[in-house]
């Protein structure tokens, strides 16, 4: 009975772990010459699609699949719900990765076309494609080193801009303080000028009044008035 309970617990734990994993689809298929192979995926909005592929060409002389230098893959992604609007068109090497994010919910057509390294796009050689596609939410960013490097570069640029903004703010505060200090000095100087002007007018007026009073007394004494 205890063994049965343990088995059930392990099975439940396994299901929980599987439910937490990002959905992954792996397969391989064949392309004849310039044939185009497409897959339809109904993707929710903001779904990140990351595909890893590996193309190999069949060589009849050796009866093996190899990867010649000239072999390439053309990858396209079209939004079926939006009149087959093409959102991805890449001509990549025989082995690599492609990534895109579904801007809107709906069916997407993911297509692959290989060009033979020996005979070009119209070759009838057989191409074997290994494909692994993972689907995840846009909030769970890909751990691709190139994406990480881009994010690091963006973070550094943002930090640099923040430093520059801080310097500009400090310079503006300093300029405002200097302007306030200059304004206070100007107002104090203007107040002193006005005060001294009033004092000078009072002194001149008093002097004029004293002179007039003195002259009047002089004229009276001399009996001229």
User: Structural domain boundaries of the chain?
Assistant: 21-140
pLDDT at position 80: 93
Residue 115: exposure state from Cβ atoms within 10 A (0-12, 13-18, ≥19): buried
pLDDT at position 4: 44
Tokens of 11: 């099975």
Tokens of 12: 């439940």
SS3 5: helix
Q: Determine the average pLDDT of the residues in 119-148.
A: 66
| Chain segment 33-56, per-residue pLDDT in tens | 778 899 899 988 888 888 889 989
Write the DSSP symbol of residue 41.
E
The Cα–Cα gap between 206 and 198 comes to 12
| Chain segment 149-200, per-residue pLDDT in tens | 665 676 677 778 888 888 898 889 989 998 988 888 888 888 888 889 899 9
Write the DSSP symbol of residue 22.
P
DSSP 95-143: EEEEEEE-SSSEEEEEEEEEEBTTTBTT---EEEEEEEEEEEETTS---
Superfamily of structural domain 21-140:
GOLD domain (2.60.120.680)
| 56 closest CA partner among 69, 45, 43 | 69
Place of tokens 């007394």: 217
| Average pLDDT over the chain, rounded to an integer | 78
Contacts of 118 (CB under 8 A, 6+ apart): 57, 68, 70, 125
Residue 77's pLDDT band, with cuts at 50, 70 and 90, is: very high
Q: Determine the average pLDDT of the residues in 11-16.
A: 41
Residue 69: exposure state from Cβ atoms within 10 A (0-12, 13-18, ≥19): exposed
pLDDT at position 151: 58
Higher pLDDT, 152 or 98: 98
| 57 closest CA partner among 124, 133, 112 | 124
The Cα–Cα gap between 72 and 53 comes to 11
Residue 103's pLDDT band, with cuts at 50, 70 and 90, is: confident
pLDDT at position 216: 79
Strand pairing report for 72-79 and 85-93: antiparallel
Residue 130: what are its φ and ψ, rounded to 5°?
A: -100, 130
Residue 160: what are its φ and ψ, rounded to 5°?
A: -65, -40
């Amino acid at each position: 009975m205890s063994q049965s309970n343990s088995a059930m617990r392990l099975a439940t734990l396994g299901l929980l772990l599987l439910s937490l994993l990002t959905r992954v689809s792996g397969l391989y298929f064949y392309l004849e010459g310039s044939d185009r192979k497409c897959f339809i995926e109904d993707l929710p909005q903001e779904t990140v699609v990351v595909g890893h592929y590996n193309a190999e060409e069949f060589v009849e002389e050796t009866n093996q699949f190899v990867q010649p230098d000239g072999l390439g893959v053309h990858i396209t992604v079209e939004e079926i719900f939006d009149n087959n609007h093409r959102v991805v068109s890449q001509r990549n090497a025989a082995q690599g990765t492609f990534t895109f994010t579904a801007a809107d919910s709906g069916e997407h057509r993911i297509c692959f076309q290989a060009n033979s390294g020996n005979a070009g796009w119209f070759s009838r050689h057989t191409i074997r494609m290994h494909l692994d596609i993972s689907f995840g939410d846009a909030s769970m960013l890909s751990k691709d080193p190139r994406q990480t490097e881009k994010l690091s570069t963006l973070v550094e640029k943002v930090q640099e801009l923040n430093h520059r903004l801080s310097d500009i703010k400090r310079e503006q505060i300093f300029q405002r303080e200097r302007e306030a200090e200059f304004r206070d000095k100007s107002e104090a100087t203007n107040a002193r000028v006005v005060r001294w002007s009033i004092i000078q007018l009072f002194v001149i007026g008093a002097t004029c009044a004293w002179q007039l009073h003195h002259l009047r007394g002089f004229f009276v004494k001399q009996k001229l008035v």
